[in-house]
Amino acid sequence: MERERLRRGVGLALAWVVAAVVAVVVGVAAVTGLGDQIRDRGPIGDNELVRDLALDTRPADLDSGEPRVEETFRDDFGSFVVACQGRYALGVGRPSPAPGWRTVSYERGPDDDIDAVFSDGRRSQEIEVYCDLGRPELSELEDNTLPRDD
């Protein structure tokens, strides 16, 4: 009887330890994956902004074996060409600002989403693009009026 209680107690303790380890592993995996998305680091994590266009000489590229699909996004700011290879987005070349606009910054990728910020002095527009089943899709186009310097 005493031996049976001991064996049952050890079995319950062992089951509790296994359940705790599984819960910790699942929790760490979930926080790591979700944390990357919250911090905008994407599946690869190359979200480095290009701010000095003169220094941007390295082409964004990804040798994933997936077909590359390009899309050009246009608005008042000008145009921004984005390519997708699977779920990874890449900025193709430099963004092309419209007359009177300038490129403030942009991401070249590869990343799960990339963006570019443009300004004409009075307004700014930020475009964010992600890959949906291997095709570039507009996630957000944010249009802001900049405060006047008085």
Cα dihedral 90, 92, 98, 103 sign? positive
Q: How far apart are CA 80 and CA 96, in angstroms?
A: 6
Confirm whether 150 is domain-assigned: no
Q: How far apart are CA 11 and CA 57, in angstroms?
A: 62
Report the DSSP beta bridge partners of residue 118.
103, 125
User: pLDDT, tens digit, for every residue of 66-106?
Assistant: 889 999 999 999 999 999 998 889 999 889 999 999 999 99
**Pair (56, 129) in one structural domain:** yes
* pLDDT given for residue 46 in this prediction: 47
**Pair (27, 72) in one structural domain:** no
**Pair (136, 90) in one structural domain:** yes
**Pair (73, 141) in one structural domain:** yes
Our count of domains for the chain comes to 2
**Pair (78, 118) in one structural domain:** yes
Quote the domain boundaries for residue 29: 1-39
Confirm whether 44 is domain-assigned: no
Position 31, amino acid: V
Confirm whether 93 is domain-assigned: yes
Q: Within 10 A of 48 (CB to CB), how many other CB atoms are there?
A: 11
**φ and ψ at 48, to 5 degrees?**
-70, 125
Q: Which of 71, 52, 48 is nearest to 60 (CA)?
A: 48
**Pair (73, 94) in one structural domain:** yes
Confirm whether 81 is domain-assigned: yes
**Pair (73, 112) in one structural domain:** yes
- The parts of the chain modelled with pLDDT lower than 70 are 28-64, 149-150
